[in-house]
Amino acid sequence: MAYQPIENYGIIGNMRTSALVGRDGSIDWLCFPHFDSPSVFAAILDDKKGGRFSIAPCQTQTTTKQFYWPDTNVLVTRFLSREGVGEIEDFMPVSTHTGPDLVHQLVRRVKVVRGQVTFRLECRPAFDYARTPHETHLSSNGAVFSTPALTLGLATTLPLKEDEQGVFAEFTLQRGEHAVCVLREIGEGDRCGGILPEGHAETVFQSTIEFWHEWLSHSRYTGRWREMVSRSALVLKLLTYEPTGAIVAAPTCGLPEEIGGVRNWDYRYTWIRDSAFTLYGFLRIGFTREATAFMNWLDTRVRNECDAPGPLQIVYGIDGRTDLTEHILDHLDGYKGSRPVRIGNDAYRHLQLDIYGELLDSIYLYDKGVTPISYRSWGHVRDSLEWLCDNWTREDEGIWEVRGGRRHFVYSKLMCWVALDRGLRLSHKRSLPADHLKWLTTRDRIYEDIMTKGWNEARGSFVQSYGSDSLDASNLIMPLVRFISPTDSRMLKTLAAINRPPAEHGLVSDGLVYRYDAAKGSDGLDGSEGTFNMCSFWLVEALTRAGRSDRRKLEEARLLFERMLGYANHLGLYAEETGDSGEALGNFPQAFTHLALISSAFNLDRALNGD
């Protein structure tokens, strides 16, 4: 089978792990039992060796459709042909509604709604990123795939046959007939587990539907583009690791920012920055439980080791582990030959000063809208800000995690200002003890520093780093965090400079925003990349803020937002980047993009209403 476009996938999950399901009915990515566990199916990273679980009609003349059951993360793939119409309903039961016995299970319900359809099933796992061979054992109830570290059972009444890589079956269903497959973890030496009778399968299906409906009912968003905002919220919920409250940046690793390129990273971890922004997105539309869970997770992460680069590491494992050493999987070809495929992420060693600003901004909003900060948590905040007062002048790797050496990134300094500003606001609001004079003095020093060294008079713009003449889309955040007025002449000039095509030394191509000019090689990596979807939504927000006093900019913001919605895939999902031909690039789906969509929709809707 050939590689599918990244945008051809949908996602299902249970807040512990997730799977990518293609429009052709093939599950080409699944890590089990957790987001950052080794993969079981990874055909998306190596079409021949990666492993897949495919169910598709044998007919060649078939049209496919794919959609979510309304307001849920239950995915339906429909196959239409002259002979009949068949469907696969893919979902992972959720423990709170289906019982603990169904945790860590993937259910595939196959049915025919018109005529008859002959399907072919192929289940060919490739454990541990296709590094560990498995044994296959058939039984009357399905098949068992066993390795020393993990054993999976495939329970079904379908007539499975064994081949070198796993099992397969061909079967025909008439209108109204069903077949159910359940993939689950089992103990070593156990059989494949009980078959899920159709009646029980329907109960589990309905319980899963009810869970997602109940969860989404807590959304307070009633504005324009509600369907897209709800889908983005559902994606963010899927990317939450329920046992700890951690939020992964994306459920995949190794998907390229350039086809055939080397910018292929592992995003299955919890970045403080991404999670803080996600917390902001949840709070914006009323999901306080997720915000509370993440705050509890964060409370246990604070550390004060003398050799640490700060009170917080920038990225952690979903279980809180700190060692995310990067490894290269040389045996995998990578998506469409994009190598190397990496697992782990050496960015955990980075110093990225901006994380304190994003974190303090979210804590400030959480204190304002959910629960006042506790004295214990304030102690952690105060320690972090004291450290920041002494270290904000250091160079760092910045928000984009460059591998070309540390610099004085403007965005990092900006977020240091945000951290101290929000800390001061919190202290005054709750009458909490702090070294107010020190914090205030440092905050104002940072402001003057940015205005003096972060502004390039020749470019007429804020730039990427001190002494640079390169633009950076992260500076679009400035008015959003209330560092500068959206109508300040410097901000308007920066907005205008960024909002030009690359041929005119800007960063915007047909409404899509590059995060910076990668061709200059300032990030220490070879190759290029697509436009960065989150930055495109940041441009919408910056224009929205400026549009409150200039109607033309507000109209431009709406047009750009509507155009960005057109770059979502058929299910409303976004990868990290968009390529020259509108294709999805990078890990998929990405939390950053979906939270930026929520934020820009929220603020644009309010501005259009005149609020």
Write the single-letter amino acid at 267.
Y
Is position 258 within any domain? yes
Distance, in Å, from the CA atom of 340 to the CA atom of 324, rounded to the nearest integer, reads 17
Residues with pLDDT less than 50, the chain: 304-306
Are residues 371 and 267 located together in one domain of the fold? Answer: yes
Is position 490 within any domain? yes
Q: Which DSSP string corresponds to 123-141?
A: EE--HHHHTS--EEEEETT
Is position 212 within any domain? no
Of 264, 266, 301, 215, the residue nearest 35 (C-alpha): 266
Q: How many domains does the chain have?
A: 3
Are residues 196 and 249 located together in one domain of the fold? Answer: no
User: Could you tell me the CA-to-CA distances from 478 to 314, 402, 475 in Å, in that order?
Assistant: 21, 21, 6
Are residues 432 and 482 located together in one domain of the fold? Answer: no
Is position 462 within any domain? no
Distance, in Å, from the CA atom of 180 to the CA atom of 157, rounded to the nearest integer, reads 8
**Owning domain of residue 324:** 243-453
> pLDDT digit string (tens) for 515-546?
998 777 577 777 789 999 999 999 999 999 99
3-state DSSP of 99-113: CHHHCCEEEEEEEEE
Q: Which DSSP string corresponds to 409-421?
A: BHHHHHHHHHHHH
Buried b / exposed e over 371-404, threshold 16 CB at 10 Å, is: eebeeebbebbbebbbbbbeebeeebbbbbbbee
Distance, in Å, from the CA atom of 254 to the CA atom of 272, rounded to the nearest integer, reads 21
User: Could you tell me the CA-to-CA distances from 271 to 13, 25, 33, 247 in Å, in that order?
Assistant: 20, 32, 21, 8
Distance, in Å, from the CA atom of 349 to the CA atom of 334, rounded to the nearest integer, reads 25
> pLDDT digit string (tens) for 481-500?
999 999 999 999 999 999 99
Are residues 281 and 335 located together in one domain of the fold? Answer: yes
Contact (Cβ atoms closer than 8 angstroms) between residue 6 and residue 585: yes
Of 528, 525, 526, the residue nearest 517 (C-alpha): 528
- DSSP, collapsed to helix, strand or coil, labels residue 572 as coil
CATH number of the domain within which 180 lies: 2.70.98.50
Dihedral sign for Cα atoms in the order 587, 589, 595, 599:
positive
Is position 1 within any domain? no
Is position 211 within any domain? no
Q: Which phi-psi region, left, alpha or beta, contains residue 401 (left: φ > 0; alpha: ψ -120 to 50)? A: left
Q: Which phi-psi region, left, alpha or beta, contains residue 398 (left: φ > 0; alpha: ψ -120 to 50)? A: left
> pLDDT digit string (tens) for 380-437?
899 999 999 999 999 999 999 888 899 999 999 999 999 999 999 999 999 999 999 9
Are residues 251 and 143 located together in one domain of the fold? Answer: no
Is position 218 within any domain? no
> pLDDT digit string (tens) for 136-187?
999 889 999 999 999 999 999 999 999 989 999 999 999 999 999 999 998 8
**Looking at 419, 453, 487, which one is the last position of a domain?**
453
Are residues 598 and 477 located together in one domain of the fold? Answer: yes
**Looking at 204, 231, 263, which one is the last position of a domain?**
204
State residue 305's pLDDT score: 43
User: Exposed, middle or buried: residue 433 (CB in 10 Å: 0-12, 13-18, 19+)?
Assistant: exposed
pTM of the full structure: 0.96
Are residues 103 and 71 located together in one domain of the fold? Answer: yes
**Looking at 453, 485, 503, which one is the last position of a domain?**
453
Retrieve residue 8's tokens. Answer: 């051809």
Are residues 258 and 146 located together in one domain of the fold? Answer: no
Are residues 412 and 518 located together in one domain of the fold? Answer: no
Contact (Cβ atoms closer than 8 angstroms) between residue 189 and residue 139: no
State residue 96's pLDDT score: 59
Is position 229 within any domain? no
H runs (alpha helix) in 333-469: 355-369, 375-391, 410-430, 436-453
Are residues 53 and 195 located together in one domain of the fold? Answer: yes
Are residues 512 and 403 located together in one domain of the fold? Answer: no
Of 190, 233, 202, 241, the residue nearest 215 (C-alpha): 233
Are residues 39 and 179 located together in one domain of the fold? Answer: yes
